[in-house]
Structure 1
Amino acid sequence: TLLCCGLAIGFSAANHPPGPRVRRRVGLGLVGLLLLAPVVGLVVLASKEGGISGQLSGAWRGATDPRAATPSNGPERLTAASSVRSRYWREAIDIWQAHEAVGTGAGSFPVARTRYRSGALEVRQAHGYVVETLAGLGLVGFLVTLALLAVWLASAARATGLRPADRREPMDAERVGLLTFVAVVVVFGVHSLVDWTWLIPGTAVVGLLCAAWVAGRGPLRARADRAGTRAVVAMRPGRRPVLRFLAARPARGGALRLLAAVAVLVLAVVASWAAFQPLRAVHAGDAAFERLDAGAPRAALDIAGIAVRRNPLSVEPLFDLAAIQSATGDVAGATRTYERAVELQPANAETWRRLGTYRAIDLRQPRTAVGPLRAAYYLDPKSAEVEAAFLLLQRQLAATPAP
């Protein structure tokens, strides 16, 4: 609805532009509303319990206190200032302070936070790009991010004419469009500071596409047709359109540009392949369980092995392989696979819990499960699953006669 209304207003204003008097009145009205909004807000705050200072201090505590209650997902969340982001950020900062240089690895926050969390709430992101980058990549990764940001800002300034030497260039349609793209990227980046926006494909793809287009468009002065000149219509408020001709400059550094383009293409292919392999592993795992349900255990084991090879640094394919091995009666193979998962990620409480649970429940060897479950509890003392596994283990030990 908002998109349709915006398009309708835009087309109407383009075909029937308002006169100077109407624009002035509308502008004054909008400025008046903006000035009136804080006054209305202060009046509302003053009328509530605690007054302005009490309401502001309460909102600040709710937004920054790690012990704040988790807000509900109902409509009342729109007016609530409290959240649990401060808790996630505190955990991310604790992780970074323990591994300041290079962090704990990209995407390791859900595993690393279990040593520092104060509640049983499960979360996979720190809900903030800066704190999660510091936790995962340390100061090195954060400085690399700042360097990339500086390079993009310089490219954006050249492409949109924000440099002092380019400000007199014509404000044509392409320049307006590039400035709009810059605004989209800025909003995307600022919002990523307070939420996990950069991990959502619907927002990340749009932000990255706009950023790439601006960075690759080239300097404003150098954009000219190959014919040698081009006509540009410069629109200035209150004046007639001015037709200008810009002379094209010969391109330089063709070989270097080609080499850079090839390097970027190779990097994009490698990054895309690295991102696509875990997805292929998930699909292979699903296919393996389908083969198992269809009565083809050998095919299920082969496909599960393919999933492990496609994503060798993840423990999820190993968990799938161990489950299929256990279902097919290969108890020794399943045990080795769970132990392999522990060796792959010894700081992950889930690998120890899976190994201990398998020994206690499937193998009915509760005494051999004590060590793995103790390790799981040490790594994640707030886990409800680990606590449940320990309770079950205690019951089995109580029912097991002493050797």
Structure 2
Amino acid sequence: LLTVAGALEVMGEAPPPAVQQGGPGRLLSASTGDRADYWRVAAVAVADEPSLGIGAGGFARRWERERDELVFVRDAHNLYLETLAELGPVGLGALLAVVAAPLVARRRCVHSDGPALAAYLALAAHAGVDWDWELPAVTLCLLLLGVVLLHADGRASTRRLGRATRVGLSIAAAALVSLGVIVSLGAASLDEADRALDRGDAATARENARRARRLAPWSAEPWQLLGEAELAAGRVPRAQAHLRRATREDPRSWTAWLALAVATDGVERAAAIGRARELNPLAPEIEFVAGDP
């Protein structure tokens, strides 16, 4: 895709960028804007996969497939509907349990912490109409308010956790921290591979893509970047093999299919372009590749 983007820039035919989902001023607006469209797409996703959901992070891809105009949207602007669409009833139930925990704990002390309760309810409700819950400051405020609600009466528990419980919690915390570090390192390698491709450094891109593949073996993106790096280095057969692997690992990635189209020809190229169009009909990059024999 970086090869395609570079060609577009050189030729002066770069496609218009997709409109972003809204600027900061929009957060203060009472208008629903395009939210009805976002909610409609999320609702269709719920209807298609009512039990398990379409997968974490799947809304953005569903939007690319269903949108009526070239607008970039990553979130459904409704935390609860988006969670139901992506993770199904189990995911939504877990989310609601976390959000409701402070409310259940404080159900008998409404008057003792009224301001904190009102602020907590406002933030929880606002998450149902916007995406700013993803901003760390907003979510941190929600968490801190939840802690206030849980402990506003000042009666801290004196019950000590058992040794086995403490050990188990410590192991779980260490595992989560380790996983977070691994994921962060993998993401950093992917970013570096992207930057290397952007500056034409195929060797560095290949090295970082391989590192990302080791750190995140569940992800198809390292295979795609490795294929693009091999293609940039002129190793077409290797590039094709890696890009085919990327489409097998993640058949719903339109960028992987488009990269495969760039690296192949004939029937396989046409099929890859067709699949990319199915997944993102309005992407101008696809039409550029399709028009470049």
- Does TM, scored on the shorter chain, surpass 0.5? yes
Large movers: runs of 4+ above 6 Å: 74-80, 289-296
Alignment partner, residue 155 of structure 2: 222
Deviation by residue 1:74-108 (Cα, 9 ceiling, x = unmatched): 97996673511110110000011000011011111
When residues 94 and 271 of structure 1 are mapped into structure 2, their CA distance, relative to the original with a 3 A threshold, is: farther
Deviation by residue 1:309-365 (Cα, 9 ceiling, x = unmatched): 223333333332222222333322221221111011112222212211222xxxxx2
Alignment partner, residue 76 of structure 2: 126
Alignment partner, residue 207 of structure 2: 302
Return 87-96 or 279-288, whichever deviates more.
279-288
TM-score of the superposed pair, with normalisation by structure 1: 0.58
1:354 to 231, 254, 259: 259
Q: Is the 8 A contact 2:205 2:225 kept in 1?
A: no
Deviation by residue 1:270-310 (Cα, 9 ceiling, x = unmatched): 4444444443223223445677869793x653332111222
Extract unaligned runs of 5+ from structure 1: 1-69, 224-248, 360-364, 397-403
When residues 387 and 156 of structure 1 are mapped into structure 2, their CA distance, relative to the original with a 3 A threshold, is: farther
Task: Give the residue type in structure 1 aligned to 2:143.
Answer: L
Deviation by residue 1:211-261 (Cα, 9 ceiling, x = unmatched): 24544x4x83634xxxxxxxxxxxxxxxxxxxxxxxxx9x34x345x6555
Distance 1:155 1:72 in 2: 36
Alignment partner, residue 373 of structure 1: 273
Residue 113, structure 1, aligned to residue 63, structure 2: yes
Task: Give the residue type in structure 2 aligned to 1:155.
Answer: A
Deviation by residue 1:33-73 (Cα, 9 ceiling, x = unmatched): xxxxxxxxxxxxxxxxxxxxxxxxxxxxxxxxxxxxx9986
Distance 1:276 1:197 in 2: 25
Q: Is the 8 A contact 1:289 1:324 kept in 2?
A: no
What does 1:310-389 align with in structure 2 at a 5 Å threshold? 310-359=215-264, 365-389=265-289
CA RMSD of aligned residues (A): 3.5
When residues 322 and 202 of structure 1 are mapped into structure 2, their CA distance, relative to the original with a 3 A threshold, is: farther
Distance 2:206 2:21 in 1: 44
Distance 1:208 1:74 in 2: 23
What does 1:13-162 align with in structure 2 at a 5 Å threshold? 81=31, 83-157=33-107, 161-162=109-110
Residue 208, structure 1, aligned to residue 143, structure 2: yes
When residues 338 and 106 of structure 1 are mapped into structure 2, their CA distance, relative to the original with a 3 A threshold, is: same
Distance 1:84 1:341 in 2: 33
When residues 301 and 93 of structure 1 are mapped into structure 2, their CA distance, relative to the original with a 3 A threshold, is: same
Distance 2:70 2:194 in 1: 30
Distance 2:262 2:123 in 1: 43
TM-score of the superposed pair, with normalisation by structure 2: 0.77
Extract unaligned runs of 5+ from structure 2: 1-19
Alignment partner, residue 42 of structure 1: none
Q: Is the 8 A contact 2:202 2:233 kept in 1?
A: no
Q: Is the 8 A contact 1:281 1:307 kept in 2?
A: yes
Give the structure, 1 or 2, with the largest relative contact order (CA under 8 Å, sep 6 or more): 2
What does 1:137-286 align with in structure 2 at a 5 Å threshold? 137-157=87-107, 161-162=109-110, 180-212=115-147, 214-215=149-150, 217=151, 220=153, 222-223=155-156, 251-252=158-159, 254-256=160-162, 263-286=168-191
Deviation by residue 1:179-230 (Cα, 9 ceiling, x = unmatched): 5544443232111110112212221233224324544x4x83634xxxxxxx
Q: Is the 8 A contact 2:258 2:272 kept in 1?
A: yes
> How far does residue 263 in structure 1 lie from its aligned partner after superposition?
4.7
Deviation by residue 1:14-34 (Cα, 9 ceiling, x = unmatched): xxxxxxxxxxxxxxxxxxxxx
Q: Is the 8 A contact 2:231 2:263 kept in 1?
A: no
> Whose Rg is larger?
1
